[in-house]
């Protein structure tokens, strides 16, 4: 599919932070290879502008394979893959064509994936477990529209990580007015990250027919 407008790449690279970021990650039975546990603990350690951050990489015993949890800023995510995550989260289904248009029209899309690597380092399986996207006029304002985390990985800090890294990236672009729409039960989550409801009396307004 055609590429959306590229987000400015300030620095490109990959860094692995190991167990300091994710604790008790991949407590994995060798035969069943399940029961993964993710907890993102140290956000300060990830205070950088790298586009790709390997939050954790674990070597599986016996076969030389590895499993990674990878954050990617300016990620290329297809509409079918995002549709699967939307379904898991329980959001209303979105038409594929409209979803593709929304992705292409986004200013910034970032993702967190779980991927399996064979002994040669080639990816054998990849699962989208978190995503955030925003639109912007590229100068003054940006709006965060979607923050999704696979239910199996919720409560681990992935959503918080995605929001913080997105705000950091927008601020580096000197975009100072960042807003979002939150369900009532999510207001407290965003307030902890610095967002305020109706700051200085400014109210969100919606047109309805």
Query: For the domain that residue 141 is a member of, what is the CATH number?
Result: 3.40.630.30
- The whole-number pLDDT of residue 151 equals 96
For the chain (209 residues), the mean pLDDT of every run of 10, in chain order, is 43 32 30 45 52 87 89 95 97 96 97 94 95 97 96 92 95 94 92 91 83
- The whole-number pLDDT of residue 50 equals 75
Residue 20 located in a structural domain = no
**117 in Cβ contact with 155 (< 8 Å):** no
The Cα–Cα gap between 108 and 161 comes to: 15
**110 in Cβ contact with 132 (< 8 Å):** yes
**Which residues lie below 8 Å from residue 106, measured CB to CB, with a gap of 6+?**
4, 133, 134, 135, 145
- The whole-number pLDDT of residue 38 equals 54
Domain tally for the chain?
Answer: 1
- The whole-number pLDDT of residue 136 equals 97
Residue 32 located in a structural domain = no
The Cα–Cα gap between 71 and 168 comes to: 14
For residue 124, give its domain range. 61-192
**Ramachandran angles phi, psi of 150, nearest 5°:** -50, 130
- The whole-number pLDDT of residue 47 equals 47
Residue 136 located in a structural domain = yes
pTM (2 d.p.): 0.78
CA atoms within 13 A on the CB side of 172: 16
- The whole-number pLDDT of residue 161 equals 94
Active site residues: 190
Residue 97 located in a structural domain = yes
Residue 24 located in a structural domain = no
- The whole-number pLDDT of residue 40 equals 55
DSSP 6: P
Here the tokens at position 207 are: 């047109």
Residue 180 located in a structural domain = yes
Residue 99 located in a structural domain = yes
Residue 65 located in a structural domain = yes
Pick left, alpha or beta for residue 123 (phi over 0 → left; psi -120 to 50 → alpha; otherwise beta).
beta
User: Across the strands, what pairs with 113?
Assistant: 70, 128
């Amino acid at each position: 599919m055609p590429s959306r407008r590229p987000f400015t790449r300030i620095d490109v690279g990959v860094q692995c932070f190991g167990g300091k970021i994710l604790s008790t990650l991949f407590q994995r039975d060798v035969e069943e290879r399940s029961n993964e546990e993710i907890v993102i603990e140290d956000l300060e350690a990830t205070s950088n502008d790298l586009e790709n951050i390997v939050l954790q990489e674990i070597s599986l015993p016996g076969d030389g394979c590895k499993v990674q949890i990878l954050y990617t800023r300016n990620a290329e995510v297809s509409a079918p893959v995002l549709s699967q995550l939307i379904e898991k989260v329980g959001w209303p289904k979105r038409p594929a064509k409209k979803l593709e248009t929304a992705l292409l029209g986004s200013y910034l899309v970032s993702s967190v994936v779980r991927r399996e690597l064979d002994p040669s380092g080639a990816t054998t399986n990849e699962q989208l477990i978190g995503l955030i996207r925003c639109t912007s006029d590229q100068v003054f304002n940006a709006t965060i529209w979607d923050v999704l985390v696979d239910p199996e990985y919720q409560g681990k800090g992935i959503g918080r990580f995605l929001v913080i890294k997105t705000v950091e990236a927008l601020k580096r672009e000197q975009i100072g007015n960042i807003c979002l729409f939150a369900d009532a039960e999510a207001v407290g989550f965003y307030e902890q990250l610095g967002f305020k409801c109706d700051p200085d009396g400014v109210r969100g307004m919606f047109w309805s027919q």
